[in-house]
Amino acid sequence: MTHSSPRGALFIKSVVLLIGALLLFAPFLFQETRSLEVAARICIFVVLVASYDLLIGYTGIVSFAHTMFFGFGAYGAAIALKQMGPGWDAVLVGVLAGLAVSIVVAIAIGLLSLRVKAIFFAMITLAAASVVLVLASQLSDLTGGEDGITYKAPQVFKTANKLMVDDAGKVARVFGVKLNGKLAAYYFVFTSCLVLFILCLRMVASPLGTVLKAIRENEARAEAIGYRVVAYRTFVFCIAAVAASLAGSIYAIWLKYTGPDTALSFTIMIDILLMVVIGGMGTMYGAVIGAVLLVLAQYYLRDLMGAASDALHGIPLLPELFEPDRWLLWLGIIFILLVYFFPKGIAGTIWDKGARS
């Protein structure tokens, strides 16, 4: 990424700023419950993907345990809110508990990987994540098993909560949007995610980020430095785990429900992988683009595929392949093609194009 004539970079940054603005005004621009769900999900995944990009894009390590840390955070908040009742003390306890578990496990995996070959890392994280997934469904007393846990969020975020009242004592409206707890919850999600994303951005611009890039660019030379590489990697692994864990807690507070499907399942891990690759590894801004595209696809592509499936009715096999549930098939194919032909993803490719012209 050169500094001369950064047209592509400018374009990417504008797109990301535009997305940020859309997310900021989402409650006013898209006045539907579903749209707000989509916007919140995008915010959460931006953080998840950006923190994952710290690993895969900036350090070159592949972890399949990112969802696991996300789950620790989500379940931490969920269990605390369930056991202690809605309140900020519960949120604090839950967030800290989730963080603590995440950090301990991240260090444990990091230390184990100090002793084994780097290539094992992906396999070990995958194995650890699957064990946690199974544990979550087994320890049903604590986690609610497959059904998950439903609980109440703190008072401020209740939909019935009136942030401001008009003269008639009803909840006030601004541009037709009710100033209620839901709105507060959305801005809680938006602000915390924005802060976390900016922290990730700052981190890659810091001296640490430079070291990480050096490690990624020149494995051989980094190997020569020896154990320090592993130490850096373990540190980044912990940082990414912390970010994922926080994102999980935020999501748990927003959803008021936590279960294997929303917080732990391997599908989320695949989503993160798709987002980071489609957006562009090692760009940070790509996280935003990838998350937006994928979440929108998840919500709206299915409708499109359903229509295609109906249209192909009568032809053997094709309707099955265009089933709305088969959307992952097509994303998988796109994913493979991207890794082959545009390994830098959307953001990386456009960024470089601008730099070259």
Partner 1 sequence: MNQLSQTLERFGGVYLLPVFVGLIAFVLIGAPSSWVTLTVAGLSMGMMIFLMASGLSLIFGLMDVLNFGHSAFISFGAFVSASALAYMSGWLGADNIALNLIALFLAFGAALAFGLVAGWFFEVVIIKPVYHDHLRQILITMGALIVSEQIILAVWGGAPVTVPRPAFLEGSWLFGDVTVEIYRAFAFALGLAVYIALYFVLKRTRIGLLIRAGVENREMVEALGFKINRLFVGVFMVGSALAALGGAMWAGYETLITPALGGEMMIVVFIVVIIGGLGSVEGTLLGAIMVGLIANYIGFLAPKLALASNMLLMMAILLWRPSGLKPAVK
Binding footprint of partner 1 on the chain (CB under 8 A): 56, 60, 62, 112, 115-117, 119-120, 122-124, 126-128, 130-131, 134-135, 138, 266, 270, 273, 277, 317, 320-321, 323, 325-326, 328-329, 331-333, 335-336, 339-340, 343
**What phi and psi values does residue 174 have, to the nearest 5 degrees?**
-120, 125
Give Cα 75 distance to the centre of its chain: 16
- Residue 290's alpha-carbon distances to 50, 248, 279, 318, in angstroms, are 10, 19, 4, 28
Shortest approach of partner 1 to residue 10 CB, angstroms?
A: 28
Shortest approach of partner 1 to residue 313 CB, angstroms?
A: 15
Indicate the residue among 51 and 309 with the shorter CB distance to partner 1.
309
Provide CB contacts within 8 A for 330, sequence distance 6+.
305
Q: b vs e for 24-63, b when ≥16 Cβ sit within 10 Å of the residue's Cβ?
A: eebbeeeeeeeebebbbbbbbbbbbbbbbbbbbbbbbbbb
Give Cα 279 distance to the centre of its chain: 12
**What phi and psi values does residue 171 have, to the nearest 5 degrees?**
-65, 135
CA angle 98, 102, 104 (to 5 degrees): 120
d(CA 257, CA 34): 16
d(CA 125, CA 122): 5
Indicate the residue among 39 and 284 with the shorter CB distance to partner 1.
284
Indicate the residue among 129 and 288 with the shorter CB distance to partner 1.
129
Answer yes or no: are the C-beta atoms of 74 and 248 closer than 8 Å: yes
Shortest approach of partner 1 to residue 105 CB, angstroms?
A: 12
Shortest approach of partner 1 to residue 57 CB, angstroms?
A: 10
Shortest approach of partner 1 to residue 326 CB, angstroms?
A: 6
Shortest approach of partner 1 to residue 212 CB, angstroms?
A: 14
Indicate the residue among 235 and 335 with the shorter CB distance to partner 1.
335
Indicate the residue among 40 and 287 with the shorter CB distance to partner 1.
287
Shortest approach of partner 1 to residue 335 CB, angstroms?
A: 4
Shortest approach of partner 1 to residue 83 CB, angstroms?
A: 22
State both tokens at 152: 């109440």
d(CA 7, CA 23): 24
> H-type helices in the chain, by residue range?
7-24, 26-29, 33-56, 66-84, 88-115, 120-138, 140-143, 181-205, 207-217, 219-225, 227-255, 260-263, 266-279, 285-296, 302-311, 318-321, 327-341, 345-356
d(CA 280, CA 287): 7
Indicate the residue among 303 and 320 with the shorter CB distance to partner 1.
320
Indicate the residue among 43 and 56 with the shorter CB distance to partner 1.
56
Indicate the residue among 209 and 345 with the shorter CB distance to partner 1.
345
Shortest approach of partner 1 to residue 203 CB, angstroms?
A: 20
Indicate the residue among 17 and 337 with the shorter CB distance to partner 1.
337
